[in-house]
Amino acid sequence: MSDPVISCTDVHKWFGNFEALKGVDMQVEKGEVIVIFGPSGSGKSTFIRTLNRLEEHQQGTIIIDGIELTHDVRNIAAIRSEIGMVFQQFNLFPHLSVLQNVTLAPIWVRKWPKEKAEEVAVQLLERVGIPEQAQKYPGQLSGGQQQRVAIARALAMQPKIMLFDEPTSALDPEMIKEVLDVMIGLAKTGMTMLVVTHEMGFARAVADRMYFFDEGLVIESGSPDDIFKSPQEDRTKLFLSQILTH
Amino acid sequence: MAQARPTSGKPPVISIGFVAWLRENLFSSLANTLLTLGSLAILYFAGRSFLTWAFTQANWGAVTGNLKVLTWGRYPEAQVWRLGVSLLILIVLGVITWRVWRGEPSTSRRIVLLGWAISPVVLTILIRGVTLPTPATIANNLGYYLFRPDVLPLLEQSWRGTSAMIWVGLLLGLTRGMIESRRARLAALIASAAALLFLLPLGLQIEPWIFGLKIPFLIPLLVNLLLATLIGQAAGHSLANVGGVQGALPWLWGLSVPLLLILLTTFDVGVASVAPVEALPIVEPNIWSGIMLTLVLAVVSIVASFPIGVLLALGRRSKLPVVRWVCILFIEVVRGVPLITILFMAQVMLPLFLPLELSIDRVVRAMAGMTLFTAAYLAEIVRGGLQAVHQEQVEAAHALGLSEILVTGLIVLPQALRAVIPPIMGQFVSMFKDTSLVAIVGLLDLLAVGQSVIKQREYLGAVREIYLFAGLFYFVVSYAMSTASRRLEIQLGVVES
């Protein structure tokens, strides 16, 4: 079997004296869809943010696609351009149009000519279902549309890995589906995805493996079948019962 | 039967007559009626005496008879067309910028930016004038430089060698820091070595000016070269990933040939037979006066202070402690001192800090003082805007792989500057009015010229007329600036129109 795309060993992260990650190990193969869930403050967001160095881990090793994340700025830049990220609050650039949001990084980081970047951007906007909004500004779109633009923006860099940090938590209920549909479609194309979410329907549909985080540690991991049908740990059972019953 | 409702989504327009408007806005109650009548009475009496003065007693000849003096002062009348052309260039550039920025971003933006970038040189040449060297002067000066370098310090021209050295060092460093190909770096090294060899005769004559110590002649030269190379290399490293900068490098190298030539051949050796050609007769800044001086001071300070202010604001937030502390020190010192003090310092103290051979014109010193003063205030305004940009925006840009410089230039600054257009324009308006302070340090701006007009025997009493005229001028320009600011805000979607 080939080397894992993401290989994390004993990752620690402190915020001041608070230890947010207490030694996380994770290996992700190419094309896998990983769902990470757990109570708030469990370190799941912090963990995926260490993967593209939005947070700096202080101990342990993270190797992405054969490159180790160190202080070397060039390594960080190389890794970031291979990883797309979608945020809870969309974080679109409000002063740029939808099209400019999507073409920004390809033009400035990949150095594509503008025409090529726009061509790709229009295709991506079609893929996420909002080609007609290209000239609008983020503030004129609904939350669901904004999040789909954010996905298109991340995909425009043609990343090998996509990180989703609670992509539907800030959305009104009726908009969650449109975003999840895009994500499911993406998962079916064979994209390597790490998704922090509590959308268990999504996990059941496309996840290859699930990780349950609590207090900075991976408490339990396994296939969706294992996790939903026969969770081993009490904390996993308790948490699942809390989010699945309401 | 149900009445058909109008289907248009527009709210009904309520129109009222003039009398109804009066009743509603001016006479709606007894108290309002009294206030209205009282105000009308005050307006009537004040207005009547003002109009009586303006039409029967005022000696407007003080203004109309001195219009030329008030406008361009002592600028030679045959050359006034140059001022007109300069103003026209500024207006045209402004209008084009406005139109280009309305539309989609395109390559024309780059052309406009290039226009603004070279405009200071063009306008300086136009307003101040230019002398072009004849081929004979170039040959003559090069001859002096190559064969009689010992004359140069006597001509106070050794700074040219220093500048040339720093330029070469910066280019060398930039190339080393930015380019990874060995061949290009070697070429840069050879080019620098050639330049160095060429510059060496001048270097031998450079006055040592490190803390005034007598140091063997080559050391200060090499220190300059080394420092410039290191700075250039650091800059090159951080600029390495910025699009377009690498492409500019060959141009910079190409540019350095004419630049070094100009630097090394344009000094005046005082040989009459090879005197340079006056393409545009020189009008030294120290005779600039009137509205022209006021406008030049304002435009220069506005255009120059803006980039400096932005850099200071960014520097104040820098992660590098030295940069941060230098910026904080500068901003706080300048903001802690009144403008008039800075103007006096620029006139009196600046010559103490500069090498003797650099004597800067008084007008230019005032410009520098006003620019630095405005820049410090702008820096704080811009910093406020920077703080208003959410950290998530920076994270999103980082996650896309944008480098630190790109994040600042494409994401943070555009949003920050948009948020602070009103205070920035306010600062510019206030700076424009503060140009009148240069009268105190002896420059002849509009107000100072006005005061000298009042002292003429025939217009001795015309104080009010002159000050009214000056006041009107300041008001019209300031009002135009704030109108432009408001339209800019609407344009950029900061406020609803």
Q: Which among A89, A105, A111 has the least Cβ separation from residue B400?
A: A105
Residue B4, pLDDT > 70, answer no
Among candidates B495, B373, B486, which has minimal Cα distance to B430?
Answer: B373
Task: State both tokens at B289.
Answer: 């006066």
Chain B interface disruption, residue of A93, A96, A98, most B CBs within 10 A: A93
Residue B203: pLDDT over 80: no
Between the two ends of chain A, the Cα-to-Cα distance in Å is 41
Amino acid occupying residue B12: P
Q: Averaged over B432-456, what is the pLDDT?
A: 89
Both tokens assigned to B190:
């050879």
- pLDDT tops 80 at residue B207: no
Confidence of residue B383 (pLDDT cuts 50, 70, 90): very high
**φ, ψ dihedrals at A136, nearest 5°:** -80, 170
pLDDT digits over B266-290, tens only? 666 655 455 667 778 888 888 888 9
Please check whether residue B402 touches A, CB under 8 A: yes
- Which position has the higher pLDDT, B25 or A214? A214
B-chain residue closest to A137, CA distance: B493
Tell me the pTM: 0.79
Q: What is the pLDDT of residues A165-183, one digit of tens each?
A: 999 999 998 899 999 999 9
Say if the Cβ atoms of A111 and B393 lie within 8 Å: no
Q: What pairs with residue A64 in β-bridges?
A: A6, A67
Given a contact cutoff of 8 angstroms between Cβ atoms, the answer to whether B82 and B127 are in contact is: yes
Choose the weakest-confidence range: A10-19, A130-139, B246-255, B433-442: B246-255
Question: Chain A: nearest CA to B415, how far in angstroms?
Answer: 7
Are the Cβ atoms of B399 and A89 closer than 8 angstroms? no
* Closest by CA position to B412, among listed B313, B309, B492: B313
pLDDT tens, B288-305?
889 999 999 999 999 899
Name residue A42's amino acid: S
A to B CB pairs, distance under 8 Å: 63
Q: What proportion of chain A, given as a percentage, has pLDDT over 90?
A: 80
**B81: how many CB neighbours lie within 10 A of its CB?**
10
Chain A: closest CA distance from residue B469 (Å): 42
pLDDT band at B1 (very low <50, low <70, confident <90, very high): very low
Best of A65, A73, A91, A137 to mutate (most B CBs within 10 Å, chain B): A91
Say whether residue A109 is in contact with chain B using an 8 A CB cutoff.
yes
B chain contacts of residue A91, beta-carbon cutoff 8 Å: 392-393, 395-396
pLDDT at B496: 43
Which residues touch B416 (CB under 8 Å, ≥6 apart)?
B382, B385, B386, B388, B389
Q: Which of A45-49, B21-25, B93-97, B322-326 has the lowest mean pLDDT?
A: B21-25
Burial grade of B479 (CB within 10 A; 0-12, 13-18, 19 or more): exposed
Task: Tell me if B400 and A52 make a contact (CB, 8 A cut-off).
Answer: no
Share of chain B above pLDDT 90, in %: 28
pLDDT band (50, 70, 90) for residue A36: very high
Residue B402 with chain A: CB contacts under 8 Å? 104-105, 108-109
The pLDDT of residue B141: 72
CA–CA gap between residue B315 and residue B308 (Å, rounded): 10
Q: Do B400 and A154 touch (CB under 8 A)?
A: yes
Least confident of A109-123, B158-172, B370-384: B158-172
B396 and A85 within 8 Å at the Cβ level: the answer is: yes
DSSP three-state, residue B24: helix
Q: Residue B244: its pLDDT value, please? A: 61
> Which pLDDT tens digit goes with each residue over B91-108?
999 888 888 877 665 667
**Residue B200 or residue B371, greater confidence:** B371
pLDDT > 70? residue B223 = yes
Lowest mean pLDDT among B52-61, B225-234, B313-322: B225-234
> Tell me, what amino acid is at A28?
V
pLDDT-derived band at B420 (thresholds 50, 70, 90) equals very high
pLDDT for B145 equals 65
Residue listed under structure tokens 């920077």:
B386
pLDDT at B206 over 50: no
Interface confidence: ipTM more than 0.90: yes
- pLDDT given at position B110: 78
Which range among A27-31, A140-144, B113-117 shows the weakest confidence by mean pLDDT?
A: B113-117
Q: What is the pLDDT of residue B146?
A: 66
- Subunit contact A153:B392, Cβ cutoff 8 A: no
Yes or no, beta carbons of B401 and A93 under 8 Å apart: no
Looking at residue B497, its pLDDT comes to 35
Q: What is the mean pLDDT of residues A52-65?
A: 92
Mean pLDDT for chain A overall: 92
Mean pLDDT score, B472-492: 88
Flag whether residue B491 sits within 8 Å of chain A, measured between CB atoms.
Answer: no
Mean pLDDT of B75-80: 88
| pLDDT exceeds cutoff 80 at B63 | yes
Query: And the tokens for A188?
Result: 């079916």
**Least trusted range by pLDDT, from B153-157, B350-354, B491-495:** B491-495
Whether residue B17 is predicted with pLDDT greater than 90 in this model: the reply is no
- In SS3 terms, B129-186 reads as CEEECCHHHHHHHHHHHHHCHHHHHHHCCCHHHHHHHHHHHHHHHHHHHHCCCHHHHH
Coil, strand or helix at A96:
coil
